[in-house]
Amino acid sequence: MIVSKLKEAKICFSNLRVTLPYPFGPGAEVGEGFRGKLKVDAEKCVGCGGCANVCPSRLIRFYDDGEQTRMEFILDRCTYCGRCAEVCPENAITMTQTFETATNDKTDLYIEQELYMLTCKRCGRCFETNNAIDRIPTQRMRRGRNFVGASMPHGAPEGGEPGK
Amino acid sequence: MQSHLLWLGIAGHIIGFDTVLMQAWRIREPVMWLCEKITGNRKLLGMNLIGGVRRDIPAEIHDELLQVLARVEKETKQVINAIADDTTLRARCVDVGVLTPQQVIAYALLGPTARASGVGIDIRVDHPYAAYQELGCEVMVENGSDIWSRVLVRMRETLEAIRIIRDALRFMPSSPIIADIREPIPPGKVGLSSVEAPRGETHHFVITGEDSRPYRWKARAPTFQNLQGIPVMVAGEYIADVPIGLGSMDPCFSCTERLETVDVRTGQVRVYSKKELVELYRRRYEGK
Ligand code: SF4
Ligand code: SF4
């Protein structure tokens, strides 16, 4: 009995305090590659919907509304699996190191963003986001009706008249 | 490994021996940090995908991993050694919460609870999956049938888990960590898998549906099965022994959430449907 108590005491005394005074002081650092609250970069997103397709909690939703597509993240259901960030072709989603997500305001866990879709000149239906088209190097050649960008070399001089 | 250390802490806490709670959780903590480093999270590791795993174990973590294993092994042994003759602890655990092997078989109890009553079932040995065929696994059996045996089984299993991880690391082949699956998953297929979780065998059953999504998914966690043994275990025991009796099965209630309400006056039992529960919640919390 005594021996066992002494052994227990030895374990306790050879390992003194290991806890941190969190939240009154700084907490522990999270490791590299930690998956915390996600962040979306609306500039990069091309609205492909890949993230919504893989999200196991089904919390990413798309609503088409004319020229706009509204994208909604209801993060109170997020399991921080990071699949959305993994599949995003544009790396628009990043898993940040934020883990202090407790809140009494639900809107803290809500992200909404609007994507402007460019319409197809022929049929008038949405087909691609502004962001995606902006990234195509032939962008300067998409003015006017005589769009023949495909025949222009990428290195056309600045101010060069496209389509001629 | 971390689950058993967590359990040891909680079991200690239930019987008022908080020192073991503090120490077991302290020992366990480096394992959680490693989990975070390897997978990105302490819990909800989110590693498995259809076809493989998402992240490899980074090469620079290997040494740290082995160090942590060595430390956890040493400290776990220290704790086992220290509590082995603790008379207070033994008074609360030895010959308390007894489940005879016959009862274990009759109620189909699983995992360490069964193994502590001399019923050596372990899916890793009975139906080896993953790499268990090559790694092997010693089934830890105790014959005391009481809570103390469950402590011993779990502690020995913690050490065995460390051995398995070491061997797995040593013999790990270098190959792609995930298969490249491009075809959609055909609907209407059935999958069933059983693995040995820390609390006993757990079964997942899935029927595939349209769009590569599951049509139905049913999980049978070991706690559901183990809870069936509680009435016979606590029958005739002191009320003070009920919490540790229940705790000795390492129940995970979030795995086993089933709900029925009993009106204590009339004895009427009622089971709520999902729709009723949602409505009840809305009325209560959203004032609708
Ligand atoms: S981290 Fe996982 S659960 Fe959260 S939004 Fe991304 S895919 Fe969905
Ligand atoms: S966030 Fe990424 S995956 Fe999701 S719609 Fe935008 S580009 Fe696609």
Cβ contacts from A onto B, under 8 A = 61
Interchain contact A17–B (C-beta under 8 A): no
Atom of ligand 2 nearest to the CA of A44: 7
> Which among B19, B33, B40 has CB closest to A8?
B19
CA torsion, ordered B124, B125, B131, B133, to nearest 10 deg: -170
Residue B287 CB neighbours (<10 A): 6
pLDDT value at residue B161: 94
Which DSSP state fits B96? S
| CA separation for the pair B260, B56 (Å, rounded) | 43
Q: To the nearest whole number, what is the mean pLDDT of chain B?
A: 91
| CA separation for the pair B194, B220 (Å, rounded) | 9
Residue B55 has pLDDT above 70, yes or no: yes
- Which segment, A20-24, A48-52, A130-134, B110-114, is predicted with the most confidence on average? B110-114
Interchain contact A2–B (C-beta under 8 A): no
Interchain contact A57–B (C-beta under 8 A): no
What confidence category does residue A125 fall into, taking pLDDT thresholds of 50, 70 and 90? Answer: low
| CA separation for the pair A16, B276 (Å, rounded) | 51
User: Rounded to the nearest 5°, which phi and psi values hold at B163?
Assistant: -60, -45
| Structural domains of chain A ordered from first start | 30-141 (3.30.70.3270)
Residue of minimum CA distance from atom 5 in ligand 1: A78
| CA separation for the pair B10, B21 (Å, rounded) | 6
pLDDT value at residue A67: 73
**Helix (H/G/I), strand (E/B), else coil: A121:** coil
- pLDDT (tens digit, 9 = 90+) per residue, B125-182? 999 988 899 888 999 999 999 999 999 999 999 999 999 999 999 998 888 899 888 8
Query: Which of A58, A77, A78, A96 best tests ligand 1's pocket when mutated (most atoms within 8 Å of CB)?
Result: A78
Would strands A68-74 and B269-270 be described as parallel, antiparallel, or unpaired?
Answer: unpaired
**Helix (H/G/I), strand (E/B), else coil: B35:** helix
Which protein residues are within 6 Å of ligand 2, measured from CB? A 40, 45-51, 88-90, 92-93
Query: Which of A80, A86, A110, A113 best tests ligand 1's pocket when mutated (most atoms within 8 Å of CB)?
Result: A80
- pLDDT (tens digit, 9 = 90+) per residue, A48-61? 888 988 898 889 98
Q: Please give the residue that has the higher pLDDT: either A43 or B27.
A: B27
Nearest CA-CA distance, residue B28 and chain A, Å: 12
This prediction has a pTM of 0.81
pLDDT value at residue A124: 65
B41 in Cβ contact with B35 (< 8 Å): yes
Amino acid B126 reads: D
Nearest CA-CA distance, residue B22 and chain A, Å: 9
Interchain contact A104–B (C-beta under 8 A): no
What confidence category does residue A134 fall into, taking pLDDT thresholds of 50, 70 and 90? Answer: low
Give the end-to-end CA distance of chain B in Å, rounded to a whole number: 46
A45 in Cβ contact with A116 (< 8 Å): no
Give the end-to-end CA distance of chain A in Å, rounded to a whole number: 97
B219 in Cβ contact with B204 (< 8 Å): yes
Token pair of A116 as six digits: 């402007």
Nearest CA-CA distance, residue B252 and chain A, Å: 19
Nearest one of B129, B128, B69, B107 to B249, comparing CA atoms? B107
- pLDDT (tens digit, 9 = 90+) per residue, A72-110? 999 988 999 999 999 998 899 999 998 888 888 888 888
Q: Please give the residue that has the higher pLDDT: either A137 or B62.
A: B62
> Which among A3, A12, A34 has CB closest to B85?
A3
* Residue ranges with strand state E in chain A: 38-40, 60-65, 68-74, 93-95, 110-119, 126-129
Residue B206 has pLDDT above 70, yes or no: yes
As to burial, measured by CB atoms within 10 angstroms (0-12 exposed, 13-18 middle, 19+ buried), residue A32 is exposed
> Which among A5, A12, A82 has CB closest to B40?
A82
Which residues in chain A are closer than 8 Å to B22, comparing Cβ atoms?
A: 12
Residue B87 has pLDDT above 60, yes or no: yes
What confidence category does residue A133 fall into, taking pLDDT thresholds of 50, 70 and 90? Answer: low
- pLDDT (tens digit, 9 = 90+) per residue, B207-263? 999 888 889 999 999 999 999 999 999 998 899 999 999 999 999 888 888 878 899
pLDDT value at residue A146: 39
| Structural domains of chain B ordered from first start | 2-255 (1.10.645.10)
Which residues in chain A are closer than 8 Å to B81, comparing Cβ atoms?
A: 7
